[in-house]
């Protein structure tokens, strides 16, 4: 962890957390059954690193993917009544 710069951490969080959050927000606004009769589905990309912590190399990435898991679970509960499903895929090797 000592080798991680603040710039790297901010970039990782911005790309994998903030930008994903903003995309989810915009998708919910457009998919809600309040606006369309169809609803919709949001698919997020998580990582096994969210569970393992990915020590010694990608802790910042793992943290951002852990945030993605929360940003999947919370909105899934929040917008289900609006006809929107929110899921995440977590590829494993």
Report the predicted TM-score, pTM, of the whole model to 2 decimal places. Answer: 0.82
pLDDT at residue 87 above 80? Answer: yes
- Return contacts of 1-7, CB within 8 angstroms, 24+ apart: 1/59, 4/59, 4/60
58 counts as catalytic: no
> Of 27, 31, 44, 61, which one is the catalytic site residue?
61
Structural domains in the chain, CATH included, are 6-89 (3.40.50.720)
pLDDT at residue 92 above 80? Answer: no
Angle between helices 19-31 and 59-79 (to 10 degrees): 20
**Phi, then psi, of 73 in degrees rounded to 5:** -65, -50
Distances (CA, A) of 34 to 17, 60, 71: 26, 37, 22
* Per-residue pLDDT reduced to its tens digit, 4-42: 789 999 999 999 999 999 999 999 999 999 888 889 999
């Amino acid at each position: 962890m000592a080798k991680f710069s603040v710039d790297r951490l901010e970039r990782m969080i911005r790309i994998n957390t903030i930008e994903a959050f903003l995309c989810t927000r915009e998708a919910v606004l457009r998919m809600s059954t309040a606006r369309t009769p169809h609803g919709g589905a949001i698919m997020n990309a998580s990582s096994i690193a969210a569970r393992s912590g990915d020590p010694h190399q990608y802790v910042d990435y793992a943290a951002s993917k852990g945030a993605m898991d929360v940003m999947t679970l919370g909105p899934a509960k929040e917008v289900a009544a609006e006809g929107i499903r929110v899921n995440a895929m977590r590829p494993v090797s």
